[in-house]
């Protein structure tokens, strides 16, 4: 058990992203239709188990890329973090597995 589910509210998310609360509410509804979040109007969202699994996969992919690029280029993670996030959206599962293997990471279950 991971403890109580955390809720992300519309207004703080909108402020963080620099978009309108209406835009955030619309995206929350789309994510709910995809069963990635549970959306309660005027309350916010929390990740579903499927959303949690996807978030973990995306976080792992991002960390692998940041680590790989920083080590390969001999620079700090701050120099590669933004580009790694962009690249992560286009990374194949095969290349992700090769990077994980190169870094000595265990294969995901």
Per residue in 44-100, pLDDT (tens digit) is: 999 999 999 999 999 999 999 999 999 999 999 999 999 999 999 899 999 999 999
Q: What is the pLDDT of residue 109?
A: 45
> What predicted TM-score, i.e. pTM, was given to this entire model?
0.78
Report d(CA 44, CA 66) in Å as an integer: 30
Q: What is the pLDDT of residue 108?
A: 55
CA end-to-end span of the chain: 18
- pLDDT above 90: residue 14: yes
- Domain range summary for the chain, segments of one domain joined by +: 10-47, 53-102
Report residue 107's pLDDT band, with 50, 70 and 90 as the boundaries.
low
Phi-psi sector, 11: left (phi>0), alpha (psi -120 to 50), beta: alpha
Q: Which CATH class is domain 10-47?
A: mainly alpha
DSSP state of 10: H
């Amino acid at each position: 058990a991971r403890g109580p589910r955390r809720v992300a509210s519309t207004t703080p998310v909108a402020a963080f992203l620099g978009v309108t609360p209406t835009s955030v509410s619309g995206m929350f509804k789309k994510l709910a239709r995809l069963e990635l979040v549970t959306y309660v109007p005027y309350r916010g969202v929390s990740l579903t188990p499927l959303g949690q699994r996807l978030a973990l996969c995306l976080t792992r992919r991002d960390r692998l890329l940041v680590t790989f690029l920083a080590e390969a280029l001999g620079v700090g993670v701050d120099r590669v973090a933004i580009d790694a996030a962009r690249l992560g959206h286009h990374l194949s599962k095969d290349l992700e597995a090769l990077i994980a293997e190169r870094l000595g990471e265990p294969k995901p279950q």
